[in-house]
Structure 1
Amino acid sequence: MKSRFRFLVTYLLGWTGWLALNRILFLWYQPQTSQLDSSTLLGVFAHGLRMDLSTAGYLTVLPALLITLLPNGPHRQLATTLHLLTFVELVLVTLIGVADLEVFRTWGFHLDITPLHYLKSPREAAASVASSPIFLLITVFLAQLLVGGYAFRRLIQWNVRRFQPVRKWIAIPALLIATVALIIPIRGGTQLAPMNVSAVYFSPTAFANYAAVTPQWNFIHSFLERNKFGSNPYTFFPKGQAKRALQTLYHPDTSHQSLLNTPRPNVIFIIWESFTAKSVAALNGRPGVTPEFEKLTREGLLFNQIYASGDRSEKGLIALLSGFPAQATASIMTLPSKSAKLPTLGQAMKKAGYQTAFYYGGETEFANIKSYLYHNQFDRIIAKSDFERKDWNSKWGAHDHIVYNRILSDLGKTKQPFFTTFFTLSSHEPFEVPMPTVFPGDDEESLFLNAMYYADRSLGEFITQARKQPWWSNTLIIITADHGHRLPVLASDKMRDFHIPMLWLGGALKTQPHRIDHIGSQTDLAATLLQQLRLDASAFRWSRDLLNSNNQPFAYFAFNNGFGVVQPNRHFVYDNISRRLIASEGAVHQQDIELGQAYEEESYQDFLDK
């Protein structure tokens, strides 16, 4: 009997040690590790141990049940079954761990079920990770399987060969009790609250807390919670208080400021993939990356304090076309039953008599984009299959300049007024562009900068040709981003990753070129545009007119389980798990934090209510 109990203990500790080794691998892989001192690194392992034990408890349940139900099973058969079961668990644990290495490096959060939404479009999902060091990751994966398989095989053989015959009527109840007792490490102890992510948070340094989280536990928890949208996890205030707090952000426009020389201009809306302010010198970004856009900023209206609502393309499209804010732990576009209840610019423009079209060089099935585009009621949706294969890059779809040329050709035959939206893709991973290298180097940042330069050049060529078209004098062109990007690396401030450009230009503008310093969000585009067209924007409840001087300067952005708020002379980033600030600048007051919490609470509740 003792030998079987010893097996359960050593098996549990074996997985715990293996997960601790995985944490070493995680720290080795992430560049932020260099920011941690030795005492903080020790804290990562000390606090992460509880979650490692919890994960190991889950992994021990099935082997424990096996030896409980077969207490006197033949040693060879029992060992073989345990080897097979353990190897399957090892494959899953290793797969999650290795995938998490790159997910965290790229997105800044641990692997959860978010990437599973993209598996419906495997080729596009592959393109998203094409810039990752695939060979290195595969090598790490195989090496872990080899070492782990050998170690666990020795552990199982050493224990099973020491099993002695036992009386079933004693052994089965005793081993069953031992199996049930695994609930203690699984829930993290005997305390009232079960294991959760906040249980391992210990440091004011956000990365140290993230490093203490066991990625396998995080994934399992995310999977088990995947369908739990029944209650709002971001309830900070008594009922009704959050809604009242947000009323301070919305005020009627008593003096409408018109920027246009015609009431019904054509509108060309360019949504530039990963277009970050860090790539624009005029916005204190890196010089030389977007020279064509730099020229255009001197010809139109540059909104220089705009922030992306979320950190993924599908969240950015929702924010821009529906004025709906991103959610920290959900994406409404991946839930068509909810996104179908959103107002859309496509619908509003079509109702106003516009000819509408959406252009995208990739496949619109990715992340449920297609269903959302149909909800927009676009007259035409032009996507990857509408372009010749020779004009595709190897992973994603048609190059930007190809799509721009198609737009120019189509608009010459389109009845005015038209509303044409183009979602670019050449500046998306894997950053393959059809031009000579401008920023030499094979590292990810150089490839990104090169792709941005190509996207910028394609835009410049399009604008040059557009000026020659008869519709130019009656056209407003809006250029902005779907979201920001962690590249180029200029600072560690998360706010800068969400800072994006927005530029209005074209023959329909009557105002002189200048900058608009009002702080705002992607979500504010819908109301701002509709107000300029004198169309009803009341359905876009989260969108605010950026030209309404009565509105308080304010921008909210959401990332995985956190949010940020930008206001004049101050901003902060808030972590939902630890419920505290993880970054701030300027004089941030409690009322600022509460305003951000109110925004998160109320916007998530709106998401639940759809």
Structure 2
Amino acid sequence: MTYLLGWSSWLALNRVLFLWYQPQTHQLDFSTLLGIFAHGFRMDLSTAGYLTALPALLIAFLPNWSTRKLATTLRLLTFVELILVALIGVADLEVFRTWGFHLDITPLHYLKSPREAAASVASSPIFLLITVFLALLLVGDYAFNRLIQWSVKPLQPVRLWLATPALLGVTAALIIPIRGGTQLAPMNVSAVYFSPTAFANYAAVTPQWNFIHSCLESNKFGSNPYNFFPKGQADQALQALYQPVSQTQSLLAVPKPNVIFIIWESFTAKSVAALGGRTGVTPQFEKLTHEGLLFNQVYASGDRSEKGLIALLSGFPAQATASIMTLPSKAAKLPTLGQAMKKAGYQTSFYYGGETEFANIKSYLYHNQFDRIVAKSDFERSDWNSKWGAHDHVVYNRILSDLNATKQPFFTTFFTLSSHEPFEVPMPTVFPGDDEESLFLNAMYYADRSLGEFIAQAKKQPWWSNTLIIVTADHGHRLPAMAADKMRDFHIPMLWLGGALKSKPQTIDRIGSQTDLPATLLHQLSLNATDFKWSRDILNPNNRSFAYFAFNNGFGVIQPRRHFVYDNTSRRLISSEGQIDQQDIELGEAYEEESYQDFLDK
């Protein structure tokens, strides 16, 4: 424990050095500086847990070593760790000052070109950095030697069979600080984000943890595995999908309406009878389809929540074998609706009843620059289910309360969770049965009922007449089980309603994707959407009707009167409907190649 706290304290001192070195620090107030250390301590403790693991194992397997041998070995091992910690920390000082992000795998690419690498560091204060590195080694070596001398005491001989298991049990307990606690999501960059000021969040990240994590993650992504075409040909093939915006139909009665964006967990067309799905599952949503604009040919981009949020808020397509949200350094380079709406003068907020640390959602939300983020810890524990967090109706009520005190126009996003497994909802059973599908249907019914109650209350609010509400899903889902056609798993509803609409209720049957939401919405608000390069205005009559989705190492393409699902491993169609020709397949391959290359390039 002493050794663990010693490393935690040392890493906190390294953070002091980081703040001293970075020019942005003077812009922070005292409370924000305290927040950096308070939130960063969890990651310091996690990093310290890794650094403590090897010495702890040494003691566990050699409990009868003499005090002198043990102390000497610990000093040597600690000195090696100090070299690594100091080297990463000092390199990170200049990397962050120059490039604005923590040291990761990126600078290592320069080692392939030594001349360019030398040129890149030519302007860095090399002498100062070397001095800081040596000072850290000397001071750290002295401090840890004193710590080891103080903590290693002469021990009586013990029985190996008794001592080793006991010490291994203590060592195993290091998993708690290493994973950042006992919460659902393990330690990730999002766990320490706490401020709307980006630099404060970056300062709370422990550089050593970030670098090691980056190295481990980089092993997953090398060159583009989907190089189907000669260079430039795939990009050229996609140009047919992106046509200039003509005068699209205006759907809004007001130029700058409030926007409430509801992202419904696991919501597919299979749960909506009007879209060919099961009957009786979402009666409130079906009722609302007669009051607004139902987009009945929209498809999810991916099969997980973090991929769906990226698609909806950044217009960036899902990858078959990767998730950009889990890599904050890449996700931070994406455009976001939060940024666009804030720039346009909107008050922005994001609501989620669960843990935003999961899958690095929190870091992405701060990148969106939401003015307010409300999550699990902001709700009473009595309103939580057993696993994820606050029930949907609780969050809806909080949104209603907050919006009545929010300056207009506002852009509010709500990511629901009650229809996520384990499908626990606070209402009597409607679909009897303990099997997974019955539980799912019951949870979906509750989510639908909560939405209906929210809309009913929203209609009574003074802001209703100036508000657009968009309801859609976060991703495709296998439930409820229907015909064995993966395309149906990704078919999702999208509904626009609210007092700000001037169009009469209607069904819009143009094919589109989640990724098309940003461009479609921004164009309706007369805002620029050029930053969202993958997003297409569904209402633009010049655009070709098209949707693409990705699943584990495969993709699907939907076009008028035909669709297919393609497996990358076998390089063949899994399923298809209509007349599919080679040009259709090549269009899907071109989309996969270019979108994955864009992911790698970020």
User: Taking structure 1 as the reference length, what is the TM-score of the superposition?
Assistant: 0.64
Would you say the 8 A contact 2:511–2:546 is kept in 1?
yes
Deviation at 1:226?
A: 5.8
CA contact (8 A) 2:303 2:476 kept: yes
In structure 2, what is the Cα distance between the partners aligned to 1:120 and 1:290?
39
User: Which amino acid is the alignment partner of residue 326 of structure 2?
Assistant: T
Q: Which one of 562, 567, 577 corresponds to residue 569 of structure 2?
A: 577
Tell me which residue corresponds to 2:315.
323
Return 5+ residue gaps in structure 2 as ranges: 1-178, 187-214
Aligned partner (choices 462, 473, 483) of residue 481 of structure 1: 473
Counterparts of 1:42-441 in structure 2, within 5 Å, are 123-124=183-184, 227-441=219-433
Q: Any conservation in 1 of the 2:300–2:513 contact (CA below 8 Å)?
A: yes
Paired residue type of 1:411: L
Residue 446 of structure 1 aligns to a residue whose secondary structure is helix
**Structure 1 residue 231: Cα displacement:** 1.0
Q: In structure 1, how many angstroms separate the alpha carbons of the residues matched to 2:505 and 2:269? A: 19
C-alpha distance in 2 between matches for 1:380 and 1:471:
19
* 1:524 match: secondary structure: helix
Report the counterpart of residue 608 of structure 1 in structure 2: 600
Checking the alignment, whether the CA contact within 8 Å between 1:120 and 1:366 is kept in structure 2 is no
Q: 1:554-590 CA deviation, whole Å, 9 max, x = no partner?
A: 0000001000000111111111111111111111111
Q: Are 1:502 and 2:528 counterparts?
A: no
Give the total of aligned pairs. 397
Contact 2:246–2:541 (8 Å) recurs in 1:
no
1:523 to 515, 519, 525: 515
Counterpart of 1:485 in 2: which secondary structure?
coil
Structure 2 partner of 1:469: 461
Kept after mapping to 1: 8 A contact 2:465/2:499: yes
The one-letter amino acid of 2:287's match is K
Q: Distance in 1 between matches of 2:340 and 2:221?
A: 29
In structure 2, distance between residues paired with 1:511 and 1:121: 51
- Checking the alignment, whether the CA contact within 8 Å between 1:325 and 1:523 is kept in structure 2 is yes
Question: What is the SS of the residue equivalent to 2:555?
Answer: strand
User: In the alignment, what sits opposite 1:490?
Assistant: 482
> What letter matches 2:546 in structure 1?
F
Query: Counterparts of 2:216 and 2:588 in 1: how far apart (Å)?
Result: 28
Structure 1 contact 277–484 (Cα < 8 Å) conserved: no
Contact residue 121 and residue 366 of structure 1 kept, 8 A? no
Assess if the C-alpha contact under 8 Å between 1:261 and 1:510 holds in 2.
yes
CA distance in 1, matches of 2:352, 2:399: 11
Rounded to whole Å, the distance in 2 between the matches of 1:324 and 1:245 is 18
Residues 185 and 359, structure 2, Cα contact 8 Å, conserved in 1:
no
Say if 1:603 and 1:262 are closer, same or farther in 2 by CA, change over 3 A: same
Q: Tell me by how many angstroms 1:255 deviates.
A: 1.9
Distance across 1 between alignment mates of 2:181 and 2:580: 42
Which amino acid counterpart does residue 449 of structure 1 have in structure 2? L
Provide the aligned C-alpha RMSD in A.
1.6
Identify the residue that residue 444 of structure 1 maps to in structure 2.
436
With normalisation by structure 2, the TM-score equals: 0.65
Match of 2:160 in 1: none
Amino acid in the other structure paired with 1:308: A
Which of 513, 519, 533 pairs up with 1:541? Answer: 533
Name the CA distance, whole Å, in 2 between partners of 1:228 and 1:405.
42
Partner letter of residue 251 of structure 2?
A: L
Large movers: runs of 4+ above 2 Å: 119-126, 223-226
1:227 Cα deviation (Å)? 1.4
Question: Residue type matched to 2:263 in 1?
Answer: I
Residue 471 of structure 2 aligns to a residue in which SS?
Answer: strand
Q: What is the Cα deviation at residue 233 of structure 1?
A: 0.4
Q: 1:260 to 1:541 in 2, by over 3 A?
A: same
Amino acid at match of 2:498: G
Deviation string, structure 1 residues 194-246 (Cα, Å, up to 9, x no partner): xxxxxxxxxxxxxxxxxxxxxxxxxxxxx999614231100000000000000
Over 3 Å counting, the alpha-carbon distance change for 1:402 and 1:228 in structure 2 is closer
CA displacement at 1:403 relative to structure 2 = 0.1
Query: Conserved in 2, the CA contact under 8 Å of 1:336 and 1:371?
Result: yes
Distance (Å, rounded) in 1 between the aligned partners of 2:326 and 2:403:
31
CA contact (8 A) 2:522 2:529 kept: yes
Unaligned stretches of 5+ residues in structure 1: 1-118, 127-222
Cα deviation, residue 253, structure 1: 1.9
SS at match of 2:334: coil
The aligned amino acid for 1:565 is V
Alpha-carbon distance in 1 for matches of 2:509, 2:493 = 12
Is contact 1:242–1:598 with CA below 8 Å preserved after alignment?
yes
* 2:227 alignment partner AA: T
Cα-to-partner distance string for 1:353-401 (whole Å, 9 max, x where unaligned): 0000000000100000000000000000000000000000111100000
Distance in 1 (CA, whole Å) between partners of 2:181 and 2:239 is: 40
- Select which of 524, 533, 548 maps to 1:556: 548
* 1:236–1:597 CA contact under 8 A, matched in 2: yes
Q: Could you tell me whether the CA contact under 8 Å between 1:439 and 1:449 is conserved in 2?
A: yes
CA offsets 1:413-444 (integer angstroms, 9 cap, x no match): 00000000000000000000000000000000
Cα 1:384/1:228, change in 2 over 3 Å: closer
C-alpha separation between the residues in 1 aligned to 2:290 and 2:376? 34
